Chain A
Amino acid sequence: MSCIKGSDCCKNFSSEEIPVNMHLLNELKRKSSSNSIITNKSDKSDDIWNSDSDIDDEKTLNNDIKALKIRHNNKGYLDGITKGKDSGLQKGFDDGYPIGAELGGIIGELIAETVWRYSMGQINSNQKKIILNELKIDKILNSKYFDINLHLSNPYEHPVIKKWLLFFKNLQYPL
Chain B
Amino acid sequence: MSDIIHKSPKNTTQDLDIDFDSLLNLEESFYQESYDEAFKIGEEHSFRDGKLLGIQTGFQRFILIGALKKASNLLMEINNAKLSKENKDDNPKIEKYLSSLSNILSLINEFYKDSLINVTNTPEDVDIYEKNIKTIRSKSKILFSQLGEKSFYPEIENNCKEIAGEIPTTQINGQEDNMW
Residues of A within 8 A of B (CB): 51, 54-55, 57-58, 61, 65, 68-69, 71-116, 119, 132, 135-137, 140-141, 150, 155, 175
Closest 7 CB pairs of A and B: A84-B42, A92-B50, A108-B66, A100-B58, A96-B54, A80-B38, A76-B34
Name the contact of A73 in the complex, choosing from B34, B52, B152 (C-beta under 8 A): B34
A84 lies within 8 A of B57 (CB): no
Contacts of B117 in A (CB 8 A): 98, 101-102, 104-105
Nearest residue, chain B, Cβ from A96:
B54
A99, A112, A150 — which one has the most chain B CB atoms within 10 A of its CB? A112
Interface residues on B, range: 35 or more
Q: Given A57-B13, A77-B34, answer yes or no on A102-B68 (Cβ-Cβ < 8 Å).
A: no
A-B residue pairs in contact (CB < 8 Å), sample of 13: A57-B13, A73-B30, A73-B33, A79-B38, A81-B42, A88-B50, A89-B49, A89-B50, A98-B119, A100-B62, A105-B117, A107-B63, A150-B55
The residue that B68 contacts in the complex, of A72, A85, A112, with Cβ under 8 A, is A112
Contacts of A116 in B (CB 8 A): 70-71, 74, 152
Partner among B13, B38, B51, B78 whose Cβ is within 8 Å of the Cβ of A92: B51
Determine if A93 and B121 form an interchain contact, defined as CB atoms under 8 angstroms apart: yes
> Are B159 and A115 in contact, CB atoms less than 8 angstroms apart?
yes
Task: State the total of A-B contacts with C-beta under 8 angstroms.
Answer: 269
Contact residues in A for B96 (Cβ distance below 8 Å): none
Give the residue of A68, A77, A92, A104 whose beta carbon is less than 8 angstroms from that of B47.
A92
Instruction: Please give, as numbers and ranges, the residues of chain A lying within 8 Å of B53 by CB-CB distance.
Output: 89, 92-93, 96
Q: With an 8 A cutoff between CB atoms, is B26 at the interface?
A: yes
A116 to B67, CA, bound (A): 11
Please judge, given known A-B contacts A54-B13, A92-B46, whether A111 and B34 are in contact too, CB under 8 Å: no
**B5 CB to closest chain A CB, in angstroms?**
8
* B11 x A113 contact (CB < 8 A): no
B152: chain A residues within 8 A (beta carbon) = 115-116, 119
Q: Check A137–B13 contact: CB distance below 8 A.
A: no
| B12 contacts the other chain (CB 8 A) | yes
Quote the shortest CB–CB distance from B126 to chain A (angstroms): 10
Contact yes or no, B39 A83, CB < 8 A: yes
Q: Known contacts A77-B35, A108-B62: does B51 contact A150 (CB below 8 Å)?
A: yes
- Which residues of chain A are near B13, meaning CB under 8 Å? 54, 57-58, 61
B27, B48, B77, B163: the one within 8 Å of A175 (CB):
B77
In the assembly, what is the distance between CA of A87 and CA of B85, in Å?
A: 59
Which residue of chain A has the shortest Cβ distance to B48 in the bound complex?
Answer: A92
Complexed CA–CA distance, A102 and B113 (Å)? 10
**Smallest beta-carbon distance A58→chain B, Å:** 6
Chain B residues numbered 32-91 whose CB sits less than 8 Å from any CB in chain A: 32-71, 74, 77-78
Q: How far is the CB of A18 from chain B (nearest CB, A)?
A: 49
Cross-interface CB contact of A90 among B50, B61, B64, B160, cutoff 8 Å: B50
